[in-house]
Amino acid sequence: MTDHLTVVRHPLVQHKLTLMRDKHTSTAVFRQLLREISQLLAYEITDNLPMTSRRIETPLCAMDAPVLDGRKLALVSILRAGNGLLDGILELVPSARVGFIGLYRDEETLEPVQYYCKLPQQLDERLVIAVDPMLATGNSSAAAVDLLKAAGATNIRFLCLLAAPEGVRRMEEAHPDVPIVTAALDDRLNEVGYIVPGLGDAGDRMFGTQ
Ligand code: URA
């Protein structure tokens, strides 16, 4: 679509995503797949992090070896479905700082309503990765990024599992400076704001609710 959007077409990502889309996939397997896919997406979204070097000694000699530079990453989960992505990414980046933004979607207006916000300190000095599996209308994602910017974040990336063209457009208009990484760009939203073909309600599928 645009440079603003990266679709990760790696075969492992696409295979796992197909299993997740299948309505016959159990809650336990869905959750496990989400954990696995989140790590593959995190690998992509953390590409080109700033690096420095540290003097270490291998058993054979001293060397200047590459390490991550700067402050720890901030991962911000957009509740509640964001937590499914968060768990896997934290395994990969265990020292990341973690924030939560609680937004629910008003089922009539489809507009986001905030009910919780707790963010790490010094957001202005960190790469902030906001995570939410479904970029649907883009309204809650754009609202979450508004909150992050209001809290000082200037370097923000957005990680999702599935995106709808409507959501990508909304984010591009509201936050052209925030790159999006996703496993697939689906066809459209339906009349009640679900991504089609999608995978249904990500929160319900991962937590076994209805
Ligand atoms: N949220 C979901 O969980 N699924 C969708 O398809 C859209 C929004």
Q: What are the residue ranges spanned by the domains of the chain? A: 5-51+66-193
Residue 80 CB neighbour total at 10 angstroms: 17
CA dihedral 105, 180, 92, 47 (to 10 degrees): -170
Distance, CA of 21 to chain centre: 18
Residues catalogued as catalytic: 105, 109, 201, 204
Say if CB 133 and CB 85 are below 8 A apart.
Answer: yes
Residues 31 and 86: beta-carbon distance below 8 Å: no
- If you take atom 3 of ligand 1, which residue's CA is the nearest one? 201
Give 210 or 177, the one with higher predicted confidence.
177
Residue 195 CA: nearest ligand 1 atom is: 6
pTM of the model: 0.94
The amino acid occupying position 16 is K
Strand partners, 158: 130, 180
5-51+66-193, CATH topology level: Rossmann fold (3.40.50)
Pocket test for ligand 1, best of 107, 189, 194, 205 (most atoms within 8 A of CB): 194
CA–CA dist 84, 35 (Å, integer): 7
> What pLDDT is stored for residue 46 in this prediction?
94
Check residues 168 and 3 and name the one with the higher pLDDT.
168
* 150-182 per-position pLDDT tens digit: 999 999 999 999 999 999 999 999 999 999 999
- Token duo for residue 143: 């609202």
Kind plus residue range of the DSSP H or E element containing 74: strand 74-79
pLDDT band with cut points at 50, 70 and 90 for residue 106: confident
- Percent helix, strand, coil in the chain, to 5, is 35, 30, 35
Atom of ligand 1 nearest to the CA of 205: 3
- Give per-residue pLDDT as tens, 52-79: 999 999 999 999 999 999 889 999 999 9
146 ligand 1 Cβ < 6 A: no
Residue-averaged pLDDT of the chain = 95
For the chain, the residue count is: 210
Alpha-carbon distances of 115 from 12, 100, 178, rounded to whole Å = 36, 11, 23
* Residue 64, both tokens: 């200047």
Sorting pLDDT into bands at 50, 70 and 90, what band is 1?
Answer: very low
Contact 27, 207 (CB under 8 A): yes
